[in-house]
A and B are shown apart, each in its own frame.
Chain A
Amino acid sequence: MNIGVLALQGAVAEHIRSIGLAGGQGVAVKQPEQLDTIDGLIIPGGESTTIGKLMRKYGFVEAIQQFAKAGKPLFGTCAGLIVLAERLDGGEEPHLGLMNMTVARNAFGRQRESFETDLDVAGIETPLRAVFIRAPLIKEVGGNVEVLSTYKGEIVAAKQGNLLASSFHPELTDDYRLHGLFMDMARQAQ
């Protein structure tokens, strides 16, 4: 199974490694044409303003929207979650606008407030070590969105059909269970 990682900026190699650990083949995606060759796409952590700008510049916005419409799964982590959201807190322009949720950027504070913790995630048996780096959080979700995890009452992971999103970075640990869950989604989509 080929899983693409959008390689415009950010933690691309880490996701490719996690996909490998979960038994798949990770591919760096730099051109929209590559979307035809993959079974699912991860939008990695990085700076959402940079990734968003480059996506627009290289025609990725429409291409990824069509990819999602065709039922192929998307997984956004941290900046990737911001990129997937329909609404951004503070009236900022959304990027892909695919997931029915409102996201607040840098919601936990600055880098000195970044942290890691053990987190319960629906569909994963034992807690996952979750790394939050200048992380966003999900302020509210529409009725078609399933909340997968909360931290201190705030939503930090969610799923809407073929779309998966987390505030934290599963690619920064050796625990690849969330990547495994995403690969199951890609398998079901086939």
Chain B
Amino acid sequence: METGTSRVKRGMAEMQKGGVIMDVMNAEQAKIAEAAGATAVMALERVPADIRAAGGVARMADPTIVEEVMAVVSIPVMAKARIGHYVEAKVLEALGVDYIDESEVLTPADEVFHISKSEFTVPFVCGAKDLGEALRRIQEGASMLRTKGEPGTGNIVEAVRHMRLIMGQIRKVQNLSKDELFHEAKTLGVPYELLLGVHETGRLPVVNFAAGGVATPADAALMMHLGADGVFVGSGIFKSDNPEKFARAIVEATTHYDDYSLIARVSKNLGTPMKGIEISKLEASQRMQERGI
């Protein structure tokens, strides 16, 4: 009997496919998310939009919040640790969370090194905006990926950019000859063996979700159309007018992302979505996607 094998850790993410993982800040929101059909919840002290508004250093949530959420739902509970913060991750593992997000939404604890994730029993998800970042995170032991997008903006444009870039780079790598692959590995800054795997299979070795800017059912469906395996919704649900309705509608739109009359139906009378931010209005220092590359 073996625990924490890569099959067990990656397999857990496979079971999330086609699903929606929702950010929640307390037990009540966690119950709303579960009742709406979320496949997992991310327990946080503040959603990204609030982190952005509050400024200062964003850290791992108070363990009380994480435990409170774990106590009320039967679906998996994820939680965020700062990039490079080994101890925050160990604390979350000790609490028994089901997945750790080593996340650029929090203020990085290490500007050079990510956590060595292979040595943990609990699996990790990490953000990536291109194939290089994606494969570096996998090499460090990430069992699941997500686009970085631009968290807390309610603007889908960066998640689209990252998903398109990753899918385009995968297609390019598929068509390289064996001798070109080594050079490409050097250019991307990734291990040759992982790149060879992408070349041979035409896909990443782990599940890749969309995240960072999903605000409406149509946004979620767009990311599925572009090749995402599922969707993370951060501020988009509990910063909208009617979280319950938004949550249910996003779940349905993710399952039936190519059924446009269904998406039309679930998009009716949802109320106001979260107020978005135009990306060009963000100063470089406020762009979370530049953290941890």
Residues of chain A whose beta carbon lies under 8 Å from any beta carbon of chain B = 7-14, 30, 45-47, 49-50, 53-54, 57, 78-79, 105-106, 110-117, 131-134, 169, 172-173
Contact = CB atoms under 8 A, between A and B. Distances in A.
Given A9-B255, A111-B12, A112-B3, A46 B74 contact: no
Nearest to A52: B37
Given A9-B255, A49-B75, 16 more contacts: A7-B18, A10-B17, A11-B17, A14-B14, A45-B14, A47-B15, A47-B76, A50-B75, A54-B37, A106-B74, A111-B99, A112-B121, A116-B8, A133-B8, A134-B98, A169-B11
Interface residues of B, number: 35
A9 B12 contact: no
B11 to A, nearest CB: 5
A30 B177 CA distance: 38
A8 B18 contact: yes
Given A50-B38, A112-B121, A45 B5 contact: no
B15 A115 contact: no
Contacts of B121: 112
A8 B14 CA distance: 14
B10 to A, nearest CB: 8
B38 A9 contact: no
Contact of B11 (A12, A30, A105, A133): A133
A137 B39 CA distance: 20
B19 A50 contact: yes
A7 B12 CA distance: 17
Interface string B114-125: 000000011100
B251 interface: yes
Contacts of A112: 3-4, 93, 96, 98, 121-122
Contacts of B62: none
